[in-house]
């Protein structure tokens, strides 16, 4: 199985995402945002960073990048799409996930390990975890405050689309939401960084199960 790691101007977690994919057993290749085809790829990884300098708002300029139409095509075909941090922001901007990411309520950039809960372990991204398992993923963002309308929140809850929540909400996200999936279950976005949680030597390897879940779900 081969993943495209999309690189935008300002991406800075692309290598982490690339290595996480390789170390799990995937093939991976960097793909420039100006490309117009993802032919030959089985899935998409959108890394963190500051695409286009976060001008206008985070992820807004990435929305019109040439590669986006292909990302949408793979998503519509049921292929896995994972967006982390700025990748999550981009997925909301391009309409593959609901809601929006706003400034942290502290109006400060937060960079620390964060304790989270796997609230839905029945998705293709989380099935190797136990329900309500506590995991430690790093966070590093200034605009990670997830917001959606009350109607959208109810829909997320009713469809069991909330997969990851903060134990000590660091950014003001509604209902402590840290990560969600789309209705179909093949598009996942989260602010914490599982690709930076792959080695116990670096503090936590709790992200390993997420990538292993993807491999088991789609890599057959």
Q: Which helix (H) or strand (E) holds 178?
A: strand 177-181
DSSP 61: T
62: exposed, middle or buried (C-beta count within 10 Å: 0-12, 13-18, 19+)? buried
The pTM for the full model equals: 0.97
Q: Alpha-carbon distance 147 to 150, whole Å?
A: 9
- The tens digit of pLDDT for each residue in 23-43 reads 999 999 999 999 999 999 999
Best CATH choice for the domain 2-218 from the list 3.90.1300.10, 3.40.50.300, 3.40.50.880, 3.40.50.150: 3.40.50.880
Q: Alpha-carbon distance 156 to 6, whole Å?
A: 27
Q: Alpha-carbon distance 78 to 215, whole Å?
A: 15
Q: Alpha-carbon distance 28 to 17, whole Å?
A: 9
Task: Identify the active-site residue in 7, 58, 148, 193.
Answer: 193
Q: Looking at residue 220, what is its pLDDT? A: 62
Task: Identify the active-site residue in 58, 85, 148, 188.
Answer: 85
Ramachandran area for residue 158 (φ above 0: left; ψ -120 to 50: alpha; else beta): alpha
Low-confidence ranges of the chain (pLDDT < 70): 220
Where are the chain's structural domains? 2-218
Helices (H), the chain: 14-24, 68-76, 86-93, 150-158, 208-218
Asked about 58 being catalytic, the answer comes back as: no
Q: Looking at residue 56, what is its pLDDT? A: 85
Task: Identify the active-site residue in 7, 93, 143, 195.
Answer: 195
């Amino acid at each position: 199985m081969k993943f495209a790691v999309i690189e935008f101007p300002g991406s800075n977690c692309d290598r982490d995402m690339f290595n996480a994919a390789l170390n799990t057993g995937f093939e991976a290749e960097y793909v420039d945002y100006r490309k117009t085809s993802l032919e030959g790829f089985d899935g998409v990884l959108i890394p963190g960073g500051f695409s286009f300098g976060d001008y206008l708002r985070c992820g807004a300029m990435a929305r019109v990048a040439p590669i986006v139409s292909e990302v949408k095509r793979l998503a519509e075909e049921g292929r896995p799409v994972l967006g982390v941090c700025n990748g999550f922001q981009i997925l909301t901007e391009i309409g593959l996930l609901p809601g929006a990411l706003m400034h942290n309520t502290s109006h400060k950039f937060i960079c620390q390990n964060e304790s989270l809960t796997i609230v839905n372990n029945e998705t293709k991204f989380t099935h190797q975890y136990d329900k309500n398992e506590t995991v430690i993923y790093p966070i590093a963002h200034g605009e990670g405050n997830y917001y959606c309308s009350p109607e959208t929140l109810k829909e997320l809850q009713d469809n069991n689309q909330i997969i990851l929540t903060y134990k000590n909400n660091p950014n003001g996200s509604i209902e402590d939401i840290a990560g969600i999936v789309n209705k179909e279950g093949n598009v996942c976005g989260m602010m914490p960084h599982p690709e930076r949680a792959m080695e116990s030597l670096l503090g936590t390897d709790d992200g390993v199960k997420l990538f292993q879940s993807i491999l088991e779900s789609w890599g057959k």
